[in-house]
Amino acid sequence: MHFESPIKRRQSRQIMVGNVPVGGGAPISVQSMTNTETCDVAATVAQIRAIQDAGADIVRVSVPSMDAAEAFKAIREQVSVPLVADIHFDYKIALKVAEYGVDCLRINPGNIGNKDRVRAVVDCARDKNIPIRIGVNAGSLEKDLQKKYGEPTPDALVESAFRQIEYFDELDFQEFKLSLKASDIFMTVEAYRKIASQIDNPLHLGITEAGGFRSGTVKSSIGLGLLLMDGIGDTLRVSLAADPVQEVKVGWDMLRSLKLRNRGINFIACPSCSRQNFDVVKTMNELEERLEDIKVSMDVAVIGCVVNGPGEAKEADLGLAGGSPNNLVYLDGKPNTKVKNETLVDDLERMIREKAAAKEKEESNLIAKS
Ligand code: SF4
């Protein structure tokens, strides 16, 4: 179960978003975005912390006005995670948040305005050592491109991106990453594939306005999954009409599924059937909820009976194979303890926590030695 991902990642140059490297072989970072009122500093700080606790490497905050820029200053002082400011229409807001310690500026070529404004933002970013995300979005393409293509297309997204890229080249500014988002999977995937072979700047992936929790997760998993399988993508945000904490969890699940990053428990569970010797679904749901705080990566198998139980349980760090009269827990591939249905979840939680603590100790010893 512990084999490496066969995905060969696209070579890209590296930028730093605060202390988080993006591109150049760095782990694919997970992002989310606050949906609180930015001027409500307390609520935004609380949400940023919740997003960070869920495992986000970078958090984006919308800064729609100068009042929000002032709020951003107060927010910046209270959180440690790298912050990206989302700027539309008014380039002066970008200059303001740069003063206030932003770690990356996201600008939208479709609405940031003329070259002088872009140059002002680039000069400021260069001066303060802040990278920029050029965020092209199918919903806000430049008017002339909308006219030229009639509707958003992959080529229209790429052309919009290249206008900024060429101008950034003229200004000799390479500290940027790029996103080309659409809510349509085919358009997004094609646009990213087209641009991936033409530039070496890091790419930020996302299917924009993907939908609600379930449909958006499916859409994002297919779209981003295709790109990630191609080795494309240096950072990602799963956009869901849901709690941003869920976006982070889904992002991690995607990366974990593709073995691109590890964090927390990778559960292997059978769907259950009438052969099950304990309630697999209930056990799985309870464990998932109780063990969300575990950060060390480990495989845990929860399998209802002896059909597939021993095989899967042996491959995991800790595995449960249903049996009668008792279920059997495997630890590090070997049968270890018998557990009764009545105390199953409590017993498993305790054993998983013990195993996680041992793994954490092992990992810190390894780091100390290296
Ligand atoms: S492992 Fe056993 S309980 Fe689970 S689905 Fe298969 S046969 Fe059913």
DSSP secondary structure, 226-292, as one string: HHHHTT--SEEE---SS-HHHHHHHHHHHHHHTTS---SEEEEE----TT-SS-HHHHHHHHHHHTT
Ligand 1 center from residue 337 Cα (angstroms): 20
In a domain? residue 1: no
- Give pLDDT, residue 229: 97
Task: For residue 96, give the H/E element and its range.
Answer: helix 91-99
In a domain? residue 162: yes
In a domain? residue 7: no
Which ligand 1 atom sits closest to the C-alpha of 309? 1
- Give pLDDT, residue 210: 80
In a domain? residue 152: yes
Q: How many domains does the chain have?
A: 2
- Indicate if 89 and 170 belong to the same structural domain: yes
- Indicate if 173 and 298 belong to the same structural domain: no
Half-sphere exposure of 135 (CA within 13 A, CB side): 26
Which ligand 1 atom sits closest to the C-alpha of 304? 3
- Indicate if 119 and 153 belong to the same structural domain: yes
**In 54-87, which residue ranges form alpha helices assigned H by DSSP?**
66-78
- Indicate if 186 and 37 belong to the same structural domain: yes
Nearest Cα to 18, choosing from 130, 124, 115?
Answer: 130
Mutate to test the pocket of ligand 1, among 267, 268, 272, 327 (most ligand atoms within 8 A of CB): 272
DSSP 3-state percent helix, strand, coil across the chain (nearest 5): 45, 20, 35
In a domain? residue 8: no
In a domain? residue 2: no
- Indicate if 270 and 177 belong to the same structural domain: no
- Indicate if 128 and 68 belong to the same structural domain: yes
First-to-last alpha carbon distance for the chain, in angstroms, is: 25
Of the residues 213, 228, 257, which one is the last residue of a structural domain? 257
Of the residues 238, 257, 276, which one is the last residue of a structural domain? 257
- Indicate if 228 and 115 belong to the same structural domain: yes
> Mean pLDDT for each 10-residue chunk of the chain (370 residues)?
81 98 97 98 98 97 97 98 95 96 91 90 97 93 92 95 94 96 93 97 93 94 97 97 96 95 93 96 96 93 93 95 95 96 97 96 84
- Indicate if 94 and 215 belong to the same structural domain: yes
In a domain? residue 251: yes
Which ligand 1 atom sits closest to the C-alpha of 305? 2
- Give pLDDT, residue 109: 75
- Indicate if 34 and 138 belong to the same structural domain: yes
- Indicate if 180 and 282 belong to the same structural domain: no
Mutate to test the pocket of ligand 1, among 268, 284, 308 (most ligand atoms within 8 A of CB): 308
Ligand 1 center from residue 297 Cα (angstroms): 25
- Indicate if 245 and 184 belong to the same structural domain: yes
- Give pLDDT, residue 366: 83
DSSP 299-354: EEEEESSTTTHHHHHHHSSEEEE--SSSEEEEETTEEEEEE-GGGHHHHHHHHHHH
Which ligand 1 atom sits closest to the C-alpha of 312? 1
In a domain? residue 10: no
CATH number of the domain that residue 269 is part of: 3.30.413.10
Residues 292, 352: Cα–Cα separation, whole Å: 12
Of the residues 233, 257, 281, which one is the last residue of a structural domain? 257
- Indicate if 225 and 274 belong to the same structural domain: no
Mutate to test the pocket of ligand 1, among 267, 270, 284 (most ligand atoms within 8 A of CB): 270
**Domain span holding position 158:** 15-257
As for ligand 1, residues whose beta carbon falls within 6 Å of it are 270-273, 275-276, 303-305, 307-309
Ligand 1 center from residue 270 Cα (angstroms): 6
- For ligand 1, atom 2, the nearest C-alpha belongs to 305
CATH number of the domain that residue 64 is part of: 3.20.20.20
Over its C-alpha atoms, the chain yields an Rg (Å, rounded) of 23
